[in-house]
């Protein structure tokens, strides 16, 4: 029987099945969806290497969603191999291949189970029906496959199938399959490698965890050889091509050999791709490299200083989960624990259950199946300086000879280094160890405390308030939602008057609220929002915002501070500089509307912030420091956050210290004693490494020193 007659018969049978099974007396309801749009919906994943401005490798970033591809970008041998192996009559059937289905049924009856689904049916399974084993699912799949064939060209169906096919090693879609298996692009693959990738579509899961052994290599080659022989039999390649490919080495790379890079940078890049549509659209082509502004020298130096300076902070459990004895208790506890500990390189999460009668800790870990495993850890592999309670979450470290339970630092840190002229992010660190906790604290919403005050001062200067104007430090009640509120100064309750410039140097709370009440809190909000301090949210319009009660992020504060040293121009922090594909492709930088800040006001605020460092709240941290900066400390309510911002015309360095559970820092840490001290250490180390000079220039060129301290007490 000819293919045309078979297809006609198949169409009639499918139509009859559809009429009976989905009609008034049928028991199958077809999914309510726009079939063509669902099946051909464009994918928007990304997969790209990241390089520095000098072309040096920084890392690799990829989405978990498929990457778009063009069939013409794939080797012809690969496309032909997929069709020949997976669906030989793809271009001749109408969605269902009755010959293949009958052949598969006979083979299964003889004990040789195999599938008979077409590529179209597999596409419907991946996009619509899922992989449930039932006659109902297969019926729906067949009906929809025939319908989509009448509405969509074969080339589109094949493209959609290849974009959504599973290739193992965590990769969906053909676009990036050669990278994870061979570390190459499609154009660089040999015929043997191309046919291997076509072969593993039969069951990529079997190949996903292949070890680098002789047996594994033989197993891999057998799949390639099957495809090569099939292509030869069907006249797609010559015998010489087949023979050469049979003896060629596959050169599979180990699963973990692909370079990853600095995890904080990778997360910043991935986040920015999601926010910048022009970047996302451009990197749909996997050959593009993403060029970043990240300076690896600074990135490495900052992380080394943080590890050193915070090596002796208190340690304890990474978090706490409620004990759950329900049927899915283990699973839900492990899921909750994963929010505190990232399953990274050599680490996983564990929940303390109790002490073992024979000694040691019983820990529910994420090892094994989805409900986890209860492991026993004895002395030598548990932190003896911590008394645990049931439900506490710990890090289990597998990098040593035996797994061990570890406590984690209870104080965390985040640092951003920004170019104030462009908004380019030169370094970004979101915590002490991204392998343990991937939570990026540089983007976390926290109360800025007194670090917000320069924006109040700029609003006042903009309105004509003079730097030597007198503010009151007398205790005064102000109306609030709870009735009345009287601000207090840190470290004492001085009363009397204080000049505006001296009040910023000493970070006077009472003077700040007096100033905000005088100019109106809306004026402060306008400046802070225009400069990007509150780009994600609006500043709360109440007087406590003058003391930093309205939360924002470290990266946004750095954006706002940049305007103080760049002539008052708002910037948008960004990591991505451009794209590279056989030459630089510029995508431009994000822009923010211009603000209105005059040079006299900026000079005045710079002078006051120089006073913060030389005789104010940061004086002890920067006494005798080799780098001339201006800066501002910040301490939030109850010492929950410690901030410091160091500025020169060439950079903004923002440092935050705090605890993830938002409890007070140990030792009543302030902006000067915590973040200020670490900022001073980072800049000293950068000076010693010749990354900056004494005037804070990164490129070694001279620039003007800061304005003199014209406002003397």
139 burial (CB, 10 Å; 0-12 / 13-18 / 19+) is buried
In a domain, 281, yes or no: no
* CA 535 to the chain's CA centroid: 19
The domain of 455 spans: 414-688
Q: Which of 154, 157, 147 is nearest to 18 (CA)?
A: 147
Q: Which residue has the tokens 């007096």?
A: 514
Give the number of residues written for the chain.
713
Which element (helix H / strand E) includes 194?
Answer: helix 191-199
169 pLDDT above the threshold of 80: no
Strands 47-51 and 289-292: parallel
Asked if residue 450 lies in contact with residue 510, where contact means CB atoms within 8 angstroms, the answer is no
User: What does the angle CA 247 – CA 248 – CA 252 come to, to the nearest 5 degrees?
Assistant: 130
Residues 600 and 629 occupy one common structural domain:
yes
Radius of gyration, alpha carbons of the chain = 32
Q: pLDDT confidence of 170, banded at 50, 70, 90?
A: confident
Please report whether residue 285 resides in a domain.
Answer: no
Q: Is residue 46 part of a domain?
A: no
pLDDT at 628: 95
Q: Could you tell me which residues come within 8 angstroms of residue 235 by beta carbon, excluding any fewer than 6 positions away?
A: none
Q: Is residue 142 part of a domain?
A: yes
* Residue 629 counted as domain residue: yes
261 versus 108: the higher-pLDDT residue is: 261
Q: Of the residues 409, 424, 446, which one is the last residue of a structural domain? A: 409
Q: CB neighbours (10 Å) of residue 306? A: 24
pLDDT band at 407 (very low <50, low <70, confident <90, very high): very high
Q: Is the pLDDT of residue 127 over 50?
A: yes
**Residue 535 burial (10 A CB sphere; 0-12, 13-18, 19+):** buried
Pairing of strands 497-499, 630-635: unpaired
Tokens standing for 702? 């001279």
Contact 319, 394 (CB under 8 A): no
Q: What is the mean pLDDT of the chain?
A: 83
Same domain, 654 and 669: yes
Q: What is the pLDDT of residue 368?
A: 65
Same domain as 210, residue 144: no
Domain edge (last residue) among 360, 380, 409? 409
The answer on 452 and 399 residing in a single domain is: no
The conformation of residue 425, written as its DSSP 8-state character, comes to E
Do the domain assignments include residue 374?
Answer: yes
Q: CA geometry: angle at 638 spanning 637 and 643, to 5°? A: 60
Using alpha carbons, list the distances in angstroms from residue 376 to 220, 333, 380, 402. 38, 18, 12, 12
The pLDDT score that the predictor gives to residue 629 is 97
| Mean predicted confidence (pLDDT) in 267-271 | 89
Q: Which residue has the higher pLDDT, 595 or 361?
A: 361
The pLDDT assigned to 427 comes to: 96
Q: Would you say residue 702 lies in a domain?
A: no
pLDDT (0 to 100) of residue 6: 45
- Classify the C-alpha dihedral 507-513-519-520 as positive or negative: positive
Say how far apart CA 634 and CA 533 lie, in whole Å: 14
Distances (CA, A) of 465 to 536, 604, 610: 29, 11, 19
What pLDDT score does 503 carry?
95
Element housing 354 (H / E) = strand 347-355
Is the separation of the CB atoms in 484 and 477 below 8 Å?
Answer: yes
570: confidence class by pLDDT, cuts 50, 70, 90: very high
* Per-position b or e across 570-579, b if 16+ CB within 10 A of its CB: bbbbbbbbbb
CATH number, domain containing residue 243: 1.10.3810.10
Q: Which of 119, 146, 165 is the last residue of a domain?
A: 165
Q: What is the pLDDT of residue 140?
A: 79
Say which residue, 706 or 410, is predicted with more confidence. 410
- Are 476 and 358 members of one domain? no
Cα–Cα distance between 174 and 187 in angstroms, integer? 13
Asked whether residue 243 carries a pLDDT value surpassing 60, the answer given is yes
Is residue 35 domain-resident?
no
Q: Which of 110-114, 118-122, 458-462, 466-470 has the lowest mean pLDDT?
A: 110-114
Return the higher-pLDDT residue of 85 and 54: 85
CATH code, domain carrying 497: 3.40.710.10
Instruction: Note whether 657 and 672 are same-domain residues.
Output: yes
Alpha helices by DSSP H, listed for 214-262, are 214-233, 239-247
pLDDT given for residue 414 in this prediction = 98
Average pLDDT score over residue span 400-404: 88
Same domain, 251 and 392: no
pLDDT exceeds cutoff 80 at 574: yes
pLDDT confidence bin for 13, thresholds 50/70/90: very low
Name the β-bridge partners of 497.
472
Handedness of CA 460, 464, 468, 471 (dihedral sign): negative
Whether the Cβ atoms of residue 259 and residue 57 lie closer than 8 Å to each other: yes
Residue 81: how many other CB atoms lie within 10 Å: 26
Buried b (16+ CB within 10 A) or exposed e, 417-438: bbbbebbbbbbbbbbbbbbbbb
> Strands, E, within 533-691: which ranges?
576-580, 584-586, 630-635, 641-648, 651-658
Query: Would you state the torsion angle of the CA atoms of residues 197, 198, 203, 208, taken in this order, to the nearest 10 degrees?
Result: 0
Nearest partner of 386 among 323, 308, 337, 318, judged by Cα: 318
* Judgement on whether residues 500 and 360 belong to the same structural domain of the protein: no
The answer to whether residues 523 and 470 belong to one domain is yes
Q: Which pLDDT does position 448 carry in this prediction?
A: 97
Label residue 705 by pLDDT band (50, 70, 90): very low
**Least confident interval from 80-84, 120-124, 294-298:** 120-124
Helix axes 453-462, 554-565, angle to 10 degrees: 40
Number of domains in the chain: 4
Helix (H, G, I), strand (E, B) or coil at 319: strand
Q: What is the pLDDT of residue 211?
A: 43
Q: Within this chain, do residues 402 and 494 fall inside the same structural domain, yes or no? A: no
Contacts of range 124-131, beta carbons closer than 8 Å, 24 or more positions apart: 124/39, 124/148, 126/161, 126/164, 126/165, 127/38, 127/39, 127/41, 127/160, 127/164, 128/31, 128/33, 128/35, 128/38, 128/39, 129/31
Residue 591 has pLDDT above 90, yes or no: no
| Integer Cα distance of 223 and 593 in angstroms | 58
User: What integer pLDDT is reported at residue 108 of this predicted model?
Assistant: 44
The span from the CA of 633 to the CA of 639, in Å, is 12
> Residues 22, 30: contact at Cβ < 8 Å?
yes
CATH number for position 383: 2.40.50
Which pLDDT belongs to residue 118?
86
Same-domain check for residues 106 and 138: yes
Same domain, yes or no: 100 and 1: yes
Provide the percentage of residues in the chain whose pLDDT is more than 90.
46
């Amino acid at each position: 029987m000819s293919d045309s007659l078979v297809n006609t018969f198949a169409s009639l049978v499918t139509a009859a099945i559809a009429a009976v099974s989905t009609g008034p007396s049928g028991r199958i309801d077809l999914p309510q969806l726009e079939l063509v749009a669902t099946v051909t919906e464009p994918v928007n994943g990304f997969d790209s290497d990241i390089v520095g401005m000098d072309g040096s490798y920084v890392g690799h970033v990829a989405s978990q969603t498929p990457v778009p591809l063009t069939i013409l970008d794939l080797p012809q041998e690969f496309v032909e191999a997929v069709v020949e192996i997976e669906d030989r009559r793809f271009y001749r059937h109408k969605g269902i291949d009755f010959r293949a289905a009958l052949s598969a049924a006979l083979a299964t009856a003889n004990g040789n189970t195999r599938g008979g689904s077409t590529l179209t049916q597999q596409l419907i399974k991946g996009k619509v029906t899922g992989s449930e084993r039932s006659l109902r699912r297969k019926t729906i799949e067949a009906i929809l496959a025939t319908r989509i064939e009448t509405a969509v060209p074969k080339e589109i169906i094949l493209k959609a199938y290849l974009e959504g096919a599973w290739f193992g090693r965590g990769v969906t879609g053909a676009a990036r399959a050669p990278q994870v298996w061979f570390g190459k692009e499609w154009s660089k693959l040999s015929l043997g490698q191309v046919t291997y990738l076509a072969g593993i579509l039969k069951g990529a899961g079997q190949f996903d965890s292949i070890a680098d052994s002789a047996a594994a290599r033989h197993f891999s080659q057998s799949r390639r050889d099957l495809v090569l022989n099939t292509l030869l039999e069907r006249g797609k390649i010559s015998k010489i091509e087949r023979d050469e490919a049979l003896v060629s080495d596959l050169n599979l790379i180990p699963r973990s050999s692909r370079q990853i890079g600095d995890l904080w940078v990778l997360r910043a890049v991935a986040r920015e791709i999601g926010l910048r549509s022009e970047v996302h659209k451009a990197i749909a082509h996997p050959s593009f490299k993403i060029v970043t502004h990240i300076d690896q020298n600074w990135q490495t130096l900052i992380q080394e200083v943080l590890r050193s300076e915070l090596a002796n902070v208190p340690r304890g459990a990474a978090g706490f989960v409620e004990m759950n004895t329900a049927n899915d208790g283990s699973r839900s506890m492990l899921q909750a624990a994963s929010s505190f500990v990232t399953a990274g390189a050599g680490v996983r999460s564990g929940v303390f259950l109790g002490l073992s009668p024979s000694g040691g800790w019983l820990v529910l870990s994420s090892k094994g199946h989805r409900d986890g495993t209860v492991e026993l850890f004895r002395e030598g592999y548990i932190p003896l300086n911590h008394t645990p309670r049931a439900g506490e979450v710990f890090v289990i470290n597998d990098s040593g000879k035996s797994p061990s339970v570890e406590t984690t630092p209870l104080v965390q840190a985040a640092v951003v280094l920004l170019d104030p002229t462009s908004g380019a992010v030169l370094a970004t660190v979101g915590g002490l160890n991204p392998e343990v906790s991937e939570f990026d604290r540089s983007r976390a919403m926290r109360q800025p405390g007194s670090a917000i005050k320069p924006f109040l001062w700029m609003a006042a200067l903009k309105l004509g308030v003079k730097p030597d104007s007198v503010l009151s430090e007398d205790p005064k009640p102000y109306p609030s939602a709870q009735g009345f509120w009287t601000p207090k100064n840190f470290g004492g309750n001085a009363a009397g008057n204080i000049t505006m410039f001296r009040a910023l140097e000493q970070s006077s709370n009472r003077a700040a609220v007096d100033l905000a009440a005088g100019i109106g809190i809306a004026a402060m909000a306008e400046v802070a929002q225009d400069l990007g301090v509150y780009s994600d949210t609006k500043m709360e319009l109440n007087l406590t915002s003058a003391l930093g009660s309205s939360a924002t992020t470290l990266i946004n504060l750095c954006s706002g501070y940049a305007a103080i040293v760049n002539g008052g121009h708002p910037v948008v922090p960004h990591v991505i500089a451009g794209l590279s594909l056989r030459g630089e492709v510029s995508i431009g930088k994000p822009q923010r509307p211009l603000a209105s800040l005059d040079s006299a006001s900026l000079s005045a605020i710079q002078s006051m912030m120089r006073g913060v460092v030389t005789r104010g709240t940061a004086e002890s941290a920067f006494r005798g420091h080799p780098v001339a900066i201006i800066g501002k400390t910040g301490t939030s309510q109850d010492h929950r956050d410690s901030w410091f911002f160091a500025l020169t015309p060439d950079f903004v360095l923002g440092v935050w210290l705090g605890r993830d559970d938002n409890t007070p820092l140990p030792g009543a840490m302030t902006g000067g004693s915590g973040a200020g001290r670490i900022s001073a250490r980072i800049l000293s180390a950068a000076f010693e490494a010749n990354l900056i000079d004494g005037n804070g220039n990164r490129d070694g060129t001279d620039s003007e020193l800061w304005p003199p301290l014209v406002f003397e007490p």
